[in-house]
Amino acid sequence: MVERSGLNERSSLLLDRTNPVKLKTRLYTGEGAEMKEREELLQRITVNPAIFQGKPIIRGMRIKVENVLALLEQGVTVQDILEDYPELEPDDIRACIAYARHLVANEDLSAVRVEAAQ
């Protein structure tokens, strides 16, 4: 029997009740609305050679994707990040995670915007 963990409805983590230690991941098919949503998330990530030597940033701001990922890695909650960076939105955090997943999966990142240096 598979049951949703205590995470929100859109979470991809599922708890396998027959083996409480094992987590199953619901893979996205990359079709339709899910694909469009992923592309919209990735469009929040920009690369500008004039900002942080072209490292990925969020919506053209001077907030690096790697910094948000490092905060999450350290156990900082999304709510705390949003409070510390009021210019960020929840979807910005999701975009950072989506960007990292695409890199690990070696998937297409053509939705990431590359801006000209100014």
pLDDT tens, residue by residue, 52-65: 999 999 999 999 99
Does 25 lie in the same domain as 43?
no
Determine how β-strand 57-58 pairs with β-strand 23-25: unpaired
43 and 112 Cβ atoms separated by less than 8 Å: yes
User: What tokens does 69 get?
Assistant: 């990922």
The residue-averaged pLDDT of 78-85 equals: 97
This prediction has a pTM of: 0.66
pLDDT digits (tens, 9 = 90+) for 19-39: 444 333 444 455 677 778 888
- Which residues lie closer than 8 Å to 37 by C-beta, 6 or more apart? none
Does 44 lie in the same domain as 82?
yes
In the chain, the number of structural domains is 2
Residue with tokens 């905060």, as numbered in its chain: 71
Does 72 lie in the same domain as 23?
no
Residue type, 30: G
Does 6 lie in the same domain as 26?
yes
CA 65 to each of CA 42, 74, 88: distance values in angstroms, whole numbers, following the listed order: 11, 14, 12
Q: Could you tell me the sign of the dihedral formed by the alpha carbons of 100, 101, 103, 108, in that order?
A: negative
Domain CATH number, residue 91: 1.10.10.10
Does 53 lie in the same domain as 20?
no
Does 94 lie in the same domain as 62?
yes
Does 16 lie in the same domain as 35?
no
Does 43 lie in the same domain as 23?
no
CA distance 70 to 28: 25
Boundaries of domain holding 23: 1-30
Does 82 lie in the same domain as 25?
no
Does 56 lie in the same domain as 2?
no
- Please return the burial class of 56, using the count of CB atoms within 10 Å of its CB with bins 0-12, 13-18 and 19+: buried
